[in-house]
Chain A
Amino acid sequence: MTEPMLSVRNLHVSFPTRQGVFEAVRGVSFDLGRERLGVVGESGSGKSMTGRAILGLVRPPGQVRADRMDLGGQSILNLPERGMRKIRGSRISMVMQDPKFSLNPVMTIGDQIIEAYRLHAGGGKAAARKKALEMLKAVQIRDPERVMDAYPHEVSGGMGQRIMIAMMLAPDPEILIADEPTSALDVSVRTEVLNIMDRLVRDRGMGLIFISHDLNLVAQFCDRVLIMYAGRVVETLAAQDLHNARHPYTQGLLNSLPRLDAPVDRLPVLQRQENWRSDPLIDQGLETELPKGV
């Protein structure tokens, strides 16, 4: 088995509140290889917070603890901001849900990509511009010259998200964390954006953490899925096995989705059980085992 690119053991993220300490993430462990790893859960399950913790983006007073958080064998747990900044962008990148809030509205798109690239790779302006054009082409943007000179408000949501991906990919990161990257997009644009990310994983051997609330999408797009509930991973599955999930929470989530091919009068409602918060996990091994053939 190859060395995992990212290895996380027993990750905790907690926030002190007036009512006591709130634990957003409670002991999450996983390994990431050159694969598409889906992280699924409902709001408040801690899925986004897990992504932020890896990048050191949990703001104080939030606290991050873990037994281990290694990137290529090197610990990145609670690195000082300066060290984290080196990793962020150049080795791990993040794509957020809404491109509108992640792009600077008063800079042209080209300038932003060039800046992002030079910040990490250095080099001359001309070389960076060439790289930026290349990246825009890589995310299937026709007429990249024109887009380079456009401002963020002049492009559509789908294009904005592709530009974000282009920007994040400019410094050639090893790992991309995508937090609900397609939730704000229309279905027809969604497929394009997913195709681009898919190709990047395949062609560049990138590791992808795909955080989403959409079970079906994750099942279709990812290789492996972690299902999170109340700050813990309750089940880990190979994506093609999702519909044979064993944890009642996963089953309940799947059942509560309306389906065009199986009309029902009333949808089954998820009955939450208190013991899901603390019971031992299903398939402890799969949590860290990398998929075959990687």
Chain B
Amino acid sequence: MLNVENLDVWFGFPPDRVDAVKQVSFTVAQGESFGLVGESGSGKSTILRAIAGLIDSWSGRVDVAGQAVHGSHRDRAFYKTVQMVFQDPYASLHPRHSVDAVLHEALKLQGMDNIDRRINQLLDDVGLGRGFRFRYPHQLSGGQRQRVAIARALAGNPRLLLLDEPTSALDVSVQAEILNLLTDLRREHGLTYVMVSHDLAVVGHMCDRLAVMQHGQIVEVMEVDALRRGAGQQDYTRHLIRASAGYERA
């Protein structure tokens, strides 16, 4: 479904050039849920943005559903296959667009018919219900906004969802609801996930395999069972797992 080879992403120009991602390669199979974990600045979100075409300063090879993509240009077929859910539900919805307007636009751009019926269907799919259809973002809670963002991503029936810390801005009880929703949607629609998170427990819950990143490089790719056992091959992985487990009094 997704194949990334020798991906480099950089920002700025020499001598101020910053290499955010260095020689990253990984493969995600159809229907799989793949996690990217690491601390801030490890380049995990940058990888998603490069795949999505939101950054054009990258090199390497990215294949999505067998099609190579280039630069920041993506064709219609790409947008129909790949969608993204962003970290901050307060920033990912247009403050002046109602839920109805957001979904209407997404469906229209994806070339769907029967838009009215589909909007209701999408709202049902993400567990919002039709009463939310004409609300504006400021009338929604963080969790509800994230549901709208997920509904928007689902508008074109994509096959691959890029999830950029989709719950890190939410309370834990709301996080549980959104994670359950994502689990259900994946099962119902046969979706493939690439999920970025700094929270090992969330990735452990959602993903089958994961890559641990540090300083723009993949330290190791591991199965989720190894993560649960705390059995990393590399020192950094073990350190990260230990630190995530919580605080131990010195």
Contacts and interface: CB of A to CB of B under 8 A. Distances in A.
> Does A touch B (CB under 8 Å) in the complex?
yes
Nearest to B174: A42
B187 to A, nearest CB: 10
Nearest to A195: B250
Given A186-B40, A258-B205, A267 B176 contact: yes
Interface in B126-172: 142, 171-172
Contacts of A261: 228
A258 B197 CA distance: 13
A266 B250 CA distance: 35
A131 interface: no
A188 B39 contact: yes
Contact of A42 (B171, B180, B206): B171
Contacts of A107: none
Interface residues of A, number: 34
A42 B80 CA distance: 36
B85 to A, nearest CB: 18
Interface in A257-273: 257-261, 263-270
B228 A260 contact: yes
B173 A188 contact: no
- Most B-side CB within 10 Å, residue of A199, A258, A265: A258
Interface string B99-141: 0000000000000000000000000000000000000000000
Interface in B219-250: 227-228, 230, 239-241, 243-250
Interface in A192-223: 194-195, 198-199, 213, 215-217, 220-221
Contacts of B239: 188
A245 B121 CA distance: 40
A198 B249 contact: yes
Contacts of B177: 269
Given A187-B39, A198-B250, A268 B240 contact: no
Interface residues of B, number: 34
Contact of B176 (A43, A221, A269): A269
A268 B179 CA distance: 11
B88 to A, nearest CB: 13
B228 A216 contact: no
A253 B228 contact: no
B202 interface: yes
A221 B204 contact: no
B172 A256 contact: yes
A259 B179 CA distance: 13
B40 A265 contact: no
B175 interface: yes
B52 interface: no
Given A216-B246, A217-B247, 15 more contacts: A43-B171, A188-B240, A188-B243, A191-B248, A213-B171, A215-B172, A256-B175, A257-B172, A258-B179, A258-B202, A264-B205, A267-B176, A267-B179, A268-B176, A269-B180
Top 3 nearest A-B pairs (CB, nearest first) are: A258-B205, A256-B176, A186-B39
